């Protein structure tokens, strides 16, 4: 051991040491790292110590966030989450940038750190101390959005229900029930619209200011740098929008026309999109979340024994919070506990097939966390969403053939219908992604994004461009309310195109699995294990996919999906 490495701080041995930490408790660790002389011998151990420190702190923060999203009504949990997200993280970033500068100045390089160093360089370049209070404020505004929307309940047939608990009613054969459920789900957001629009006005202003302070023309340009999108540009996103409009929207029109005929309606309304056209009741693939976990485990074991074992580990270590409850934050996510090397899944299951898809999706993220944990440094495991969503969306497709295993989540006939639903949904989602991304682009580059009414009108235009075959007349308020429900636009701006790019990758992984399931799953796992040690095109290539939004690629994949839909329908 060299002299320099002896001066490295001795770190706590558990994230519990930071559970109640204030920034003042954390600062000395960063100062200690900042004071270590860096030379050829010391820089490696120093980097490992810094990574270890961030594992400990980010895991403490992740545990606070998990506790908060499990019950957003508990003020103590909210305070703990905000202590990390609004007070500690901005400081952490500032001091992280300081250490990154030292690392970059040292000239240290390793092939498996090329992408990491490129990312750190980008962070250093865009960092502005004067923006820290703006980021803190944005965290508080985000918490306000979560509080406002997480607490939503509606009265439904004499019972108080969460919005996810109304989803089953959108699948009811009785059209009037579906319409009431659809309107009941839109109403809270229509009522909140003025308040949410005002909240967004503030977020918009703070974001544009952050961009300006960092020397960018607008928040879109800033976001491409901040999200380390080294492998594609805003123009590529525009190409994605145009290709989806040209290739996917006509396919959606064919799906909707077929649905309209099957339902025997003269026009499709938005509450007609989830019901089974043959009038069969909604699938109830599981009774409670224990059963969901049990059956999902069998599915993952069938995909690959290693994946099944990882999922079982999560069940055994109580790393799954699956059921919908009042006060629980909506949606689903997978968070990584980097010190333990374990993922955690949060979702809101109510007993539907959609919940199974959500679990397959989030489990794909968790398999990514397990696979990339073999990378020694934290930053080598931090992947962008394009890579993260490739993991999750591929798993939805790779696992679906196994849902009908004996004792599983569906009968073969149910599975056939579920796959039709899933593949139709893949195309509809590509168009939804294009509309959300085009909308965000408009918000941050049109010059009118700070005008609430202009925003709503722009949303309607984006929807008109990418929707087809559904009659929204008389439902303008509901249609506008839809974007206020799209939490990414509020909480994770510009996080959406990744779903589209990753879906295109996942379709290619699936295409290969149809002739070589074992090879496709093996390459999928090897691609995940790369973490962020290679570029996106290289990571996709390892998984057997081409990265990008090339129109010819999209045309081929739409044809693949439509062929498979035709095959499933005639089976």
Residues lying near Zn ion in the complex (CB under 5 A) are found at 392
Residue of this chain nearest to Zn ion (CB atom) = 392
CB of 392 or CB of 468, closer to Zn ion: 392
Nearest 5 degrees, angle CA 445-CA 449-CA 451?
155
- CB-based burial label for 6 (10 Å; 0-12, 13-18, 19+): exposed
The distance of closest approach from Cβ of residue 237 to Zn ion in the complex, given in angstroms and rounded to an integer, is: 18
Which of 16, 327, 410, 337 is closest to 152 using CA atoms?
Answer: 327
Q: What is the DSSP string of 237-293?
A: HHHHHHHIIIIIHHHHHHHHHHHHHHHT-SS--GGGSSS-TT-PPPP---SSHHHHH
The distance of closest approach from Cβ of residue 413 to Zn ion in the complex, given in angstroms and rounded to an integer, is: 29
CB of 366 or CB of 392, closer to Zn ion: 392
79 neighbors 19 (Cβ within 8 angstroms) = no
CA distances to 37, 49, 97, 340 from 6, rounded to whole Å, are 11, 12, 24, 25
CB of 68 or CB of 495, closer to Zn ion: 495
Cα–Cα distance, 432 to 125 (Å, whole number): 33
Left (φ > 0), alpha (ψ -120 to 50) or beta: where does 210 sit? alpha
Classify residue 227 by its DSSP letter.
T
Q: Residue ranges of the alpha helices (H) in 349-399?
A: 353-372, 378-381, 385-399
Q: What is the DSSP string of 101-135?
A: HHHHHHT---GGGHHHHHHHHHHHHH--GGGHHHH
The distance of closest approach from Cβ of residue 392 to Zn ion in the complex, given in angstroms and rounded to an integer, is: 4
The distance of closest approach from Cβ of residue 477 to Zn ion in the complex, given in angstroms and rounded to an integer, is: 29
CB of 171 or CB of 525, closer to Zn ion: 525
CB of 202 or CB of 429, closer to Zn ion: 429
CB of 15 or CB of 364, closer to Zn ion: 364
Crossing angle of helices 75-82 and 43-70, in 10° steps, is 160
CB of 165 or CB of 392, closer to Zn ion: 392
The distance of closest approach from Cβ of residue 365 to Zn ion in the complex, given in angstroms and rounded to an integer, is: 6
- The terminus-to-terminus CA distance of the chain in angstroms comes to 67
Structural tokens at position 316: 């055994």
CB of 188 or CB of 332, closer to Zn ion: 332
Burial 401-426 (b: 16+ CB within 10 A, else e): bbbbeeebbbeeebbbbbbbbbbbbb
CB of 324 or CB of 392, closer to Zn ion: 392
The distance of closest approach from Cβ of residue 391 to Zn ion in the complex, given in angstroms and rounded to an integer, is: 8
The distance of closest approach from Cβ of residue 483 to Zn ion in the complex, given in angstroms and rounded to an integer, is: 19
Which of 191, 172, 190 is closest to 181 using CA atoms?
Answer: 172
Structural tokens at position 296: 């999902």
CB of 336 or CB of 392, closer to Zn ion: 392
**Dihedral sign computed on CA atoms, order 437, 442, 445, 448:** negative
The distance of closest approach from Cβ of residue 223 to Zn ion in the complex, given in angstroms and rounded to an integer, is: 18
The distance of closest approach from Cβ of residue 174 to Zn ion in the complex, given in angstroms and rounded to an integer, is: 33
The distance of closest approach from Cβ of residue 177 to Zn ion in the complex, given in angstroms and rounded to an integer, is: 31
CB of 285 or CB of 332, closer to Zn ion: 332
Rg (C-alpha) for the chain, rounded Å, is 24
What does the H/E/C string look like for 504-536?
HHHHHHHHHHCCCHHHHHHHHHHHHHCCCCCCH
441 neighbors 237 (Cβ within 8 angstroms) = yes
Neighbours of 176 (CB within 10 A): 9
The distance of closest approach from Cβ of residue 333 to Zn ion in the complex, given in angstroms and rounded to an integer, is: 8
Cα–Cα distance, 376 to 232 (Å, whole number): 27
CB of 139 or CB of 396, closer to Zn ion: 396
The distance of closest approach from Cβ of residue 359 to Zn ion in the complex, given in angstroms and rounded to an integer, is: 12
CB of 390 or CB of 462, closer to Zn ion: 390
CB of 56 or CB of 436, closer to Zn ion: 436
The distance of closest approach from Cβ of residue 389 to Zn ion in the complex, given in angstroms and rounded to an integer, is: 5
Q: Scanning the structure block, which residue is given the tokens 């109640």?
A: 20
The distance of closest approach from Cβ of residue 364 to Zn ion in the complex, given in angstroms and rounded to an integer, is: 8
- CB-based burial label for 278 (10 Å; 0-12, 13-18, 19+): exposed
Which of 187, 152, 155, 158 is closest to 73 using CA atoms?
Answer: 152
């Amino acid at each position: 051991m060299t002299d320099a490495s002896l001066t490295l701080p001795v770190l706590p041995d558990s994230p519990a040491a930071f559970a109640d930490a204030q920034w003042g408790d954390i600062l000395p660790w960063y100062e200690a790292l900042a004071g270590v002389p860096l030379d050829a011998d010391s820089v490696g151990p120093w980097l490992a110590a810094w990574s270890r420190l961030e594992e400990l702190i980010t895991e403490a923060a992740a545990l606070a966030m998990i506790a908060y999203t499990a019950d957003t009504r508990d003020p103590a949990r909210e305070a703990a989450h905000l202590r990390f997200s609004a007070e500690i993280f901005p400081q952490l970033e500032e001091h992280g940038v300081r250490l990154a500068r030292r690392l970059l100045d040292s000239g240290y390089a390793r092939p498996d750190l090329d992408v990491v160093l490129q990312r750190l360089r980008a962070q250093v370049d865009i960092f502005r101390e004067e923006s820290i209070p703006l980021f803190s404020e944005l965290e508080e505004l985000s918490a306000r959005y979560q509080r406002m929307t997480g607490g939503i309940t509606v009265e439904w047939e004499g019972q108080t229900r969460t919005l996810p608990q109304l989803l089953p009613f959108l699948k009811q054969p009785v059209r009037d029930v579906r319409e009431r459920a659809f309107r009941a789900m839109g109403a809270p957001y229509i009522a909140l619209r003025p308040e949410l629009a005002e909240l967004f006005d503030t977020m918009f202003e703070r974001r544009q200011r952050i961009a300006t302070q960092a020397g960018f023309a607008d928040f879109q340009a800033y976001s491409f740098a901040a999200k380390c999108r080294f492998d594609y540009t805003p123009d590529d996103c525009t190409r994605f929008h145009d290709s989806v409009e040209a290739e996917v929207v006509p396919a959606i029109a064919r799906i909707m026309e077929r649905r309209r005929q099957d339902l025997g309606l003269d026009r499709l309304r938005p509450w007609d999109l989830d019901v089974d056209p043959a009038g069969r009741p909604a699938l109830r693939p599981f009774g409670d979340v224990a059963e969901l976990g049990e059956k999902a485990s069998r599915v993952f074991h069938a995909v690959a024994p290693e994946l099944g074992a990882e999922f079982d580990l999560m069940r055994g270590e109580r790393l799954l919070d699956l059921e919908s409850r009042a006060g629980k934050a909506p949606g689903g996510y997978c968070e990584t506990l980097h010190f333990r090397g374990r993922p955690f899944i949060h979702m809101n299951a109510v007993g539907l097939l959609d919940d199974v898809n959500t679990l397959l999706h989030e489990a794909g993220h968790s398999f990514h966390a397990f696979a990339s944990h073999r990378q020694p440094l934290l930053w080598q495991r931090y992947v962008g969403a394009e890579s993260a969503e490739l993991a999750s969306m591929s798993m939805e497709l790779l696992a679906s053939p196994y849902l009908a295993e004996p004792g599983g989540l569906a009968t073969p006939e149910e599975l056939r219908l579920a796959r039709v639903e899933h593949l139709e949904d893949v195309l509809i989602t590509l168009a939804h992604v294009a509309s959300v991304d085009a909308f965000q682009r408009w918000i941050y580059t049109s010059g009118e994004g700070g005008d609430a009414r202009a925003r709503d009108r722009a949303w309607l235009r984006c929807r008109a461009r990418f929707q087809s075959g559904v009659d929204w007349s008389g439902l303008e308020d509901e249609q506008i309310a839809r974007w206020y429900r799209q939490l990414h636009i509020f909480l994770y701006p510009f996080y959406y195109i990744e779903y589209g790019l990753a879906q295109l990758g996942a379709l290619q992984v699936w295409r290969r699995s149809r002739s070589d399931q074992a090879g496709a799953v093996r390459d999928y796992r090897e691609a995940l294990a790369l973490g962020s040690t290679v570029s996106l095109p290289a990571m996709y290539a390892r998984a057997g996919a081409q990265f990008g939004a090339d129109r010819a690629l999209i045309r081929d994949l739409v044809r693949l999906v439509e062929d498979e839909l035709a095959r499933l329908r005639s089976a």
